[in-house]
Structure 1
């Protein structure tokens, strides 16, 4: 089978397609034939060496976190799925490995693919959709009539964060580039701010939750946008931010939360139910596996609306 590997940190030029044997499974595992894999910014942060403390420095390493595919084999102890089932899933966010013809997972790593969407759209759901759910329902605890600011609202997580916050009854202000204004309005944002024309530091409104998906808004700068007991959510975990947020939350009414994705079966089912309803999934571009370097290079450099996906068929 084909699998994308790299033997040193660097840009997308370090990525290689290698031939490997199809892995075997244990009794509590499943073998999935991969159909599509989503591209996430965390991918290039890991293979670029920015996350060494989490990913380690032992090579070779693999790429790709979330995927869609078909169950090929099940271990004797697996009861929730059977061969032929269409599924979505994700692997360890710092180890990857989804960019391969086959992956080995446990039952809690996957969920049934929403029947009404194709495999390429389904692959775009797990990481960003589960992240948006965890941010909205746990970290920011978004609820009715709350004022929520989402900075970087047209990226992968933003695509779902805007829609889910609206479903929770919040009033959403989306901060985007000029190219993202129409999309943010389509997804339901009540107010859309084009940061190229109006810096968010000039906003007069104060928010109950400030969600930074751009990784460019610091907690220090966000404080002026927050109510006295508001929450700031960052999607950029590091040892320093985790320590700082812990200490801040001991003494300040303005809380600092950091997203560390923790998938659960319940959250997976909530996401698939949303996808079977009216949740919009936007793909910017699809690529073949042979164009993996181009796929990551363009995704890393370009500001995109929604998600990009690599197809393995």
Structure 2
């Protein structure tokens, strides 16, 4: 089958289409004919080797994490799906990819595609939906009336997280460029910072939660907008000791990640707030809950551009520019 792969880590990962063997499934897996694959910033980061100590791939490795498609084969232990079912799923952190004609998907990672979405729309959801859910609901237990700052509100994570936070009853602040101010307001943002005109840390205050989505010193600056007892949940790092322990990593990485996060940890303690790093995980049950919100039109996918399968690499290059308004998706079939 045809798949978009990378052959090595580093500055020249040799990304391109290759013929690879169609996956064979385990008893608890589905073989899915991929109709669409959602792209995420980490898809561009993985071939650089940034996450090589954490994410395990056999090279050459297929790129991509999100998919939507049709089940064409089920393993002997599968109980929730049958051949012909339309599903969507995240394969992130499973050592396999989605930008391919077929993919093996663990039953536990899959959910039924909402009937009111096509495959492209469904493929836009898994990683951003699960990330927002696991940060806002599972870890932060966001409550009605609390204030959450979601930077980069017009991006893939931001467009979904704003809607989900509003569904949970929170007041949402965000930052974006001038041209996207009205877009994020339509999604539900209450307090919008045009970062071309203002610095968020000079305007916002008394927030309960910050979702760390911007690299650089934005996470450190976020400490100052939180009320005592508030928290930062970072999606972009630095990685912390708790993450190393949760993945049963050795003492070396526990020490390295502790050192990486030492500055933000000290700053957080000084201001009586909490910092943690979140690494999203596949979860079909949570995708089912997100799917129900979609069916009831409480949230919706926001898609910037759709690339044909043959132009998947150009889709990744477009995403890497950092200007996407919502999600970038590859239409495979």
Contact 2:89 2:284 in 1 (8 A): no
Q: 1:55 to 1:223 in 2, by over 3 A?
A: same
Structure 1 residue 73: deviation in Å? 0.5
Where do 1:85-100 residues align within 5 Å?
85-93=85-93, 95-100=95-100
Q: Deviations over 1:74-121 (max 9, x none)?
A: 112211100000000111337341111111122101100000011000
Pick closer, same or farther for the CA change 1:11–1:37 going to 2, 3 Å.
farther
Structure 2 spans left out of the alignment, 5+ residues: 244-257
Q: Map residues 118-267 of structure 1 onto 2, 5 A cutoff.
A: 118-237=118-237, 239-240=239-240, 242=243, 243=258, 244=261, 253-267=272-286
Bigger shift: residues 248-257 or 126-135: 248-257
| Preserved CA contact (<8 Å) 1:136 1:142 | yes
Structure 2 match to 1:280: 300
Q: Equivalent residue for 1:107?
A: 107
User: Is the CA contact (8 Å cut-off) linking 1:30 and 1:105 kept in structure 2?
Assistant: yes
CA distance in 2, matches of 1:253, 1:141: 19
What is the TM-score with the length of structure 1 in the denominator?
A: 0.93
Q: Secondary structure at the match of 2:182?
A: helix
Relative to structure 1, the CA distance from residue 183 to residue 94 in structure 2 (aligned partners, 3 Å threshold; closer, same or farther) is farther
Shift of 1:141: 2.1
Question: In 2, distance between residues paired with 1:141 and 1:220?
Answer: 22
Q: Which blocks of at least 5 consecutive residues in structure 1 are unaligned?
A: none
Aligned to 1:40: 40
Instruction: Note closer, same or farther for the CA distance 1:95–1:21 as it changes in structure 2 (3 Å cut).
Output: closer
Return the alpha-carbon distance in structure 1 between the equivalents of residues 62 and 148 of structure 2.
36
Moved more, 204-213 or 97-106: 204-213
Local SS of the residue matching 1:284: strand
Structure 2 residue matching 1:67: 3-state secondary structure: strand
Tell whether the 8 Å contact from 1:54 to 1:94 is kept in structure 2 after alignment. no
Range moving further from structure 2, 17-26 or 272-281: 17-26
Give 1:269 shift. 1.6
User: Could you tell me how far apart the structure 1 residues matched to 2:58 and 2:24 are?
Assistant: 22
Which segment drifts farther, 243-252 or 227-236? 243-252
Larger displacement relative to structure 2 (64-73 or 255-264): 255-264
Root-mean-square deviation over aligned CA pairs: 2.2
Tell me the equivalent position of 2:316.
296
Distance in 1 of aligned mates of 2:83 and 2:193: 47
CA distance in 2, matches of 1:10, 1:310: 24
TM-score normalised per structure 2 = 0.87
CA shift, 1:252, in A, is 7.0
CA distance 1:36–1:197, change in 2 (3 Å): same
What is the number of residues matched between the two proteins? 313
